[in-house]
Amino acid sequence: MSGFLSRRLRTVALMATCLAVCLGPAVAREGRPLFELGVMAGGGYIPDYPAADESRFRGLALPYIAYRGEILRSDEKGLLRSRLIHTEDLEFDISLNGSFPVDSDDNDDRNGLPDLDWLGEIGPCVQLTVARAPAGGAKVDLELPVRAVFSTDLSDWNYRGIVVAPEIAYQHENFLGEKIQVKLGLGASFATVQLTEYFYEVAPQFATATRPAFSAESGYLGTKIQLAAFKSFSSRWRGFAGLKVDLHHGAANEDSPLFKDKTTFSAGLGIIWSFYQSEARGVE
């Protein structure tokens, strides 16, 4: 895959992640369309991979699609998911998520190593509301996702283990009375050896004088702190912005030669224009 295309695809991953963070509702919002079509454009500054010491600015425009059915949903929490249980304080769903390829030739530390292919994830997620503000509008959620990970170059599929990523998040629907949705989250990630090998393993045939062979192990990947905001300027125009700090201190594979930076930063912003909205209302 060319470096040009790979960079654009990783930008899609940034925007999808930023949307999932920024658009997550603090409380149910009535009357949103069942189906929306539009365009979203944005950009951000993000590391090439977890604990990488190279980051780049990327920007792109792409289609925006939302479907808010009672069970099947393509919305702010994921590109495609099945919501099986939903009450005021508890939600259980099966979701699909993923990330995009990395061309190793674009990263000095990974140069000469196999590229990182598309990653797909599927598995259950429980979201439990543990506290609510008496006046409404704000809450604290505990999210417990467990997902199987697969990689593909679109011609072959490989199992990449399990990732567990619990997160606790404060969300506010109307921050400072300005109709701004905010989310402040703190979460950690743990993975089985198949995924840590994919990121941090250096097989003997790829070892160099500055990149010794390394055998990865399962365990702690890192902790993230993220702050995101989303504002509707009108029924069709919306803006979003997000900041994230990833802390990899004490990670299971910090001795890998591919593990370069214990603290990485990401930032992104963008805008959404919804040019079609169905008259039918979605299910919150």
- Determine the pLDDT at residue 96: 72
- Determine the pLDDT at residue 59: 78
- Determine the pLDDT at residue 81: 62
Query: For residue 25, what pLDDT band results from cuts at 50, 70 and 90?
Result: very low
pTM of the model: 0.81
Centre a 10 Å sphere on the Cβ of residue 70 and count the other Cβ atoms it contains: 10
User: What architecture is the 3-277 domain classified under in CATH?
Assistant: Beta Barrel (2.40)
Kindly state the DSSP code that residue 249 receives in the 8-state scheme. Answer: T
More confident residue, 149 or 49: 149
Strands 138-152 and 118-132: antiparallel
Lowest-pLDDT choice from 25-39, 60-74, 118-132 = 25-39
- Spell out the domain ranges in the chain: 3-277
Q: What is the pLDDT of residues 51-60, one digit of tens each?
A: 999 888 877 7
Q: What is the pLDDT of residues 237-266, one digit of tens each?
A: 999 999 999 999 999 999 999 999 999 999
Q: What is the pLDDT of residues 133-153, one digit of tens each?
A: 887 789 999 999 999 999 998
Lowest-pLDDT choice from 20-29, 68-77, 215-224 = 20-29
Q: What is the spatial distance between Cα 17 and Cα 43, in angstroms, rounded to a whole number?
A: 12
pLDDT higher than 70, residue 283 = yes
More confident residue, 56 or 70: 56
Q: What is the spatial distance between Cα 12 and Cα 60, in angstroms, rounded to a whole number?
A: 7
Phi and psi, residue 235, nearest 5° = -70, -15
